[in-house]
Structure 1
Amino acid sequence: MKAIFITFDQAHLEMIHGILDHNNCRGFTYWENVQGRGSVTGEPHYGSHAWPSMNSAIIAMVEDRQVDNLLDLLHKLDEQSPALGLRAFVWNVEQTI
């Protein structure tokens, strides 16, 4: 089992929901308003007067076999609008209850 943590500009929300639905990833946790700044070229997303855009985040627990396809689809979405920003990170899930 893997955890995919996705941070993204809020404009991507519906497309990310679609990617998760299309790949039968039912369970996830969603944070609507998260602040951040890209590590290389990303502009700040602070929800302030100077930097008004905001990010959101989703963490989804998926089967190992689903990871590559999900990352590929998320990468393609990011390439469509690189200025918005989207990152995905994968962690091993050691145990669940």
Structure 2
Amino acid sequence: MKKVSIIYSATIFEEMKKALEDIGIKAYSIIPTVYGKGLSTQPRFDSHVWPGKNQMIIIICDEKSSNLILDEVNQLRKKFPKEGIIGYIENIDDITEHEKINPLQ
């Protein structure tokens, strides 16, 4: 199992959600407010000095699906080069008992 984390500017939330739905993602968690600064973007701290905020989506899936998701995130990076978007994959060693269904099936 893999955990895909995607951090992105909240301004592209609808585009991010649609991109994931278009490839068949059915299960995910959203952290609605994430503050930070990327290597090539201004800080986003939702303040008058540093306006804006980021969001984070977390998806648990199999390895093949995780690679498809990162491919989609890379497409969004090309579409929105001025927005902060990063995706990364981590290994999941174990998970609680529940339906362990690939979200792309």
Q: TM-score, normalised by structure 2?
A: 0.84
Gaps of 5+ in 2: 97-105
Q: How much does 1:20 deviate?
A: 2.0
SS in 2 for 1:19: helix
Once residues 24 and 35 of structure 1 are traced to their aligned partners in structure 2, the CA distance between those partners, rounded to angstroms, is 28
1:38-64, Cα deviation, whole Å (9 max, x unpaired): 0x2121011011111110111111121
Does structure 1 residue 25 correspond to structure 2 residue 25? yes
- Counterpart CA distance in 2 for 1:80 and 1:19 is 12
1:22 is displaced (CA, Å) by: 2.2
Which whole-Å CA distance do the structure 2 matches of 1:23 and 1:76 have between them?
Answer: 12
- Give me the identity figure in percent: 23
Quote the RMSD (CA, aligned, Å): 1.2
- How many equivalent residue pairs? 96
Q: Distance in 2 between matches of 1:72 and 1:17?
A: 15
- Is the contact between residue 19 and residue 70 of structure 1 (CA under 8 Å) also seen in structure 2? no
Structure with greater Cα Rg: 2
